Amino acid sequence: MFSPVHFGQEPCVLAAMEMVVFALVKGREFMQIPLVDLAIQYTAIKSEVLAAISDVLEGMHLFLGPQTRLFEEEFAALCETRYGVGVGSGTDALALALRACGIGPGDEVITVSNSFIATVEAIALVGARPVFVDIEPETYMLDWRQLADVLTERTRAIIPVHLYGHPVEMRPVLDFARQHHLRVIEDASQAHGTLYEGKQVGGLGDIGCFSLYCSKQLGAYGEAGICVTNDADLAEHMRMWRDHGSKVRYQHDFMGSNARIDEIQAAILRVKMRYLAEWNRARQAHAQVYTEQLGGLVAKVPQVQSWAAHTYYVYVVEVEDRTTFRQVLENEGIATGIHYPLPIHLQPACAEYGYQRGSLPVTERVAERIVSLPMYPELTPSQLACVIEAVKKAAVVKTAR
C-alpha cells in the first residue's frame, strides 16, 4: 500500500495532478494538499455508509435505538471497558462524565491549557473551577510532576488530555488520584485507538471521553461523542443525564439534558469503526515518513515515548518562524494548522480564573511555535513528498534570513 517515497520535483507535480483531478471531479475549492480530506475517505466507504443510513431510515427508530446500542457495545469493547454511553458531542461527554462523578459548584478540576477549549468548557458548564498545570516539553502532555503543586481541599478530579494522538503518562496520574481520592476523567477526544503501556486509553481512569467530531480518527458526519467506563453506576447516571434525567420515558428523576447521540451517526460510526485500525496504521506510516525526513528541517518533530502508541490525529512540528514557515507552505499549495494558537488559560473566556501570561511557560512557548502538517490516512507517497519538499524550501528561506 505504501510505496517508497522519492523526494524530488516529479512526485510534487504528480501530487498536484492527483488533487486537481479530484477537485475538478468533486467541484471543490482547490488546495493541492489540504490539512485533512474527508471527501476522499467518504468516497471509499460511500456504499456502506449510505446502506447504513438507509437501514436506519427504513426502520425510523431515530434515537437511542439498535444502532446506538451496538455502537456503544463495540466502542466499549475497543476500549476494553464494560460500558459505552453515546452522546451528542465530545463536550457533552466531558460534562456528563463530570456530573456523573458528582462534580459541581465549589469543586476544582486539574487539567491542562494546551487543549481545545471544550476540556475547560465542560468544567465550567458544571459550575466547577479549572486549575491548570503545565505540560511536558517532550510530548506536550500533562506534567504529572506538578499535580501536588496545585492540589487543594477542593480538588475533586483530574482531566488528563491525550492530545494529538499521544497518551498522557497515566500510571503516575492514576497513583496520585488514588492517593488523594480523586476521579480521573480521560479526555481522549484525539486518541481513538491510542495505547498506553499496551492498553487502550479511555479505559484507564474512571471515565473516558471521546469526541467523534468529523475530522477525528473516528469521526461522525456531524457531531457525536461517547463515554466509556467500567463502573455500572457511572454508566447509568450518564445515560440518565443525556436523556433528561430519565430511565423510563416521561419519568424524570432529576433535571438532566438532551445529549443523546443520533441514531444515524451511530450507524455511520459503526461502519467507520471497521476501518479504524487500518486508518491508524496509515497515519503511523505517514508519520514515520515525516519524522525520518523532517528531523533536520524543523526545530522539533513529535517525540513518542516508549510506553506510547501514537495515532497521529495531527502531526505537529515546532518551528522558529511560524509565520514564514506557513507562508512558504501555503505558496506551495499545502495547508497547515495550529493546534492551538492561544492557550486556554489566556483566552478571554477564562479571564475570571486569574491566570496571566507567564503562568504556564512551557504551554505558552509551545503555542508560539507549533504547526500541524497535513495528516489523514489517504495521503499518497507523492503528496508526502510534496509536503517534505515544501518544508525544505521553508528551511532554505529560514537559513537565508
Share of the chain above pLDDT 70, in %: 91
CATH class of the 9-28+276-400 domain in this structure:
alpha beta
pLDDT at 397: 78
Round the average pLDDT of the chain to a whole number and report it. 93
CA 75 to CA 228: how far, in whole Å?
8
Query: Would you call 60 exposed, middle or buried from its count of C-beta atoms within 10 A (0-12, 13-18, 19+)?
Result: exposed
E strand map for 139-198: 155-158, 183-187, 195-196
CA 76 to CA 85: how far, in whole Å?
9
Segment 195-242, tens digit of pLDDT:
999 999 999 999 999 999 999 999 999 999 999 999 999 999 999 999
40 in helix, strand or coil? helix
396 in helix, strand or coil? helix
Domain extents in the chain: 9-28+276-400, 51-273
Fold of 51-273: Aspartate Aminotransferase; domain 2 (3.40.640)
**DSSP character at residue 345:** G
Task: Please name which of 176, 172, 174 lies closest in space to residue 185, comparing C-alpha atoms.
Answer: 174
As given in the structure block, the three cell numbers for residue 307 are 510506553
Q: How does residue 29 score in pLDDT terms, banded at 50, 70 and 90?
A: very low
- Say what the pTM is: 0.92
Segment 286-323, tens digit of pLDDT:
999 999 999 999 999 999 999 999 999 999 999 999 99
357 in helix, strand or coil? coil
Segment 57-115, tens digit of pLDDT:
999 999 999 999 999 999 999 999 999 999 999 999 999 999 999 999 999 999 999 99
